[in-house]
Structure 1
Amino acid sequence: MPDKNYDFKIEKTTHSRLKEIDFDALQFGRVFSDHMLLAEFEEGEWKSVKIQPYQELAFSPASCVFHYGQAIFEGLKAHKTASGEILIFRPDQNLERMNKSARRLCMAEVPEEIFIDGIKKLIDIDRNWVPDGDGKSLYIRPFLIADDDFLGVKPSAKYKFMVITSPTANYYSGAVKVKVERTYSRACEGGIGAAKAAANYAASLYPAQQAQKAGYHQLIWTDAKEHKFIEESGTMNLMLRIGDQLVTPSLDAQTILPGITRASIVALAKNWGYDIVERKVAVDEIVEALNNKTLKEAFGMGTAATIAPIELIGIDGVDYELSDFHNWDFANKVKNHLEGLKRGKVADEFNWIQKV
């Protein structure tokens, strides 16, 4: 992508909503900060780039995002240190993944200056929206949508890239109960499972809703071909500790989203000397490990939750309980390390942190 200097137009709000927010009662993704970023792509290039007050936008009813689903997004967080600095965790990886998703959906790629510099400018303006306290952060949602007004199946020639932010608390307040899904599929080989596309999340809603009605928080997805091998857990990657080995499903089939938290945890585990492998994991192997008590830890990994310990797994009508997650070795160690790193309490040996 050719280098270009982008002129950020900045319009600040005259009516901040900051005083209306109860930062002691935050929920995930319910309130939004004062400003947003909006960039527009047309005639083959990014043109207008601006930071403006958070507001509703007008779209043509024929805008092709409504009809053909060219929509992708990312998720990352900003944390405040004890000294008041604001830190972001690996935004370069979010940019890389967004542009990989864009290529898969025939969308315009977003330049680094608009994505990373734009996010930093936006957070700097809304820095008072970054909450203090453990478990709290400013969730950052970049997203890219098609915006050509035509009816016809072809890639759009116009796009809008936007970033909104939301002060938030923990996504999960404790351990989760999950069900292994043997009927419905999140993604299939040759599809868009490795892209962070809106369509993947739409496809997950109905089976997740059915699982929640049955008393589970989320699903463990299995492969679409045979429903024999586990893939993701809800909207998170999955890691198990079987015996003394850490295991996470391989990304080779391109059906699993390559999570940034996942990649970070794999790197840390290797650096700490743990035995960790990325491979296919059969549901039958999990049942065997549960029955013989060698499944020591199981947890989801993702930006929203960092680590979500699994306390119960439902498989083919049988619920299996895991040991008390408070006693787990690896999950607690890596969660504390990542949370400390994001708040400037732990040395950043991999240079993952960027300052605002």
Structure 2
Amino acid sequence: MSKEEMNTFGLVYDGALEKNEPGKVNIRPVSYDLNGLKIAANVYVPADFQESGAYPAVVVAHPNGGVKEQVAGLYAQRLAELGYVTLAFDAAYQGQSEGQPRNTDKPQNRVEDIHGAIDFIVQYRGVDRSRVGILGICGGGGYTLRAAQTDKRLRAVATLSAFNTGIVRKNGFLDSQIHTITERLEDAYRAREDERAGREVRYTPDMLTMTPAEAKELPFDLYRDGYEYYGIMCRHTGSGFSYTVSSNIDLFAFDARVGMEMIDRPLLMMAGKAADTLYMTEGCYERATGTKEKELFLIDGATHIRTYWYPEYVDKAMDKLAEFYAKYL
């Protein structure tokens, strides 16, 4: 039996809640409407939560390919243990949220997901709408940075292992596909035409279909560690790395660095010091000129994916988040 099947809420991270108990952090599965789509989410409430109270809240945006039951849920639970009401949600078209074609992965959707999550949490009973923050992880971090440029309801903005999805989809990781941009765009438009004509929806390859031996030969830590996390340690049926080929039309035009100067809220950007994605966090951080209250926090020894689940790295990230949100929320 898998971790997902063993847990009441389908959670797959270590230390996950197994049931709701009085006097402890509780989890409340919820859904809400976003532009006609039903979004699936989990609200984590602190121990002895009272709807008559006024609690600070944090929205947690999951990584590319991830779902709310994985790392987003882990950090949401840990933050709830510190007294925050937290919301971990599945992006539209992904996980348990509605949307067709499945695994459409467009930046405008992911950014709107974040605005919609904030819409929901500021109206949640017991939440102080003047004390709402956000934590974006991996791709959710890149989209969080874009959403935070205009959504001034956010009082504190944090990212973990931020990933600039559009640049990677366009150029390939570390510019490994930069010479095939035009060819891949032409293919994306053919896929779009297929969808419009009612033909089969085409998807990109899914790393999780590899064998462990094949995964060991992948060229980057990000992908080798990603296979270990998503394919073995925290596997979930809703999680995967295959997205519609037509999504590339919009993804290729997205760059999380653009507009960073518009963030005028306290900003914390965390990343593994050994991560081969560190350049993405640094590129966004350098352009965050609109706030003086900003910090780049590097976690010694950590690679990108290991900030998701290695206890020593999660603890370091949580200690920093506890300090950050306590100061600004």
TM-score with structure 1 length normalisation? Answer: 0.28
Going by fraction, where is strand more abundant, 1 or 2?
Answer: 1
Q: Name which one, 1 or 2, has greater alpha-carbon Rg.
A: 1
TM-score with structure 2 length normalisation? Answer: 0.30
Going by fraction, where is helix more abundant, 1 or 2?
Answer: 2
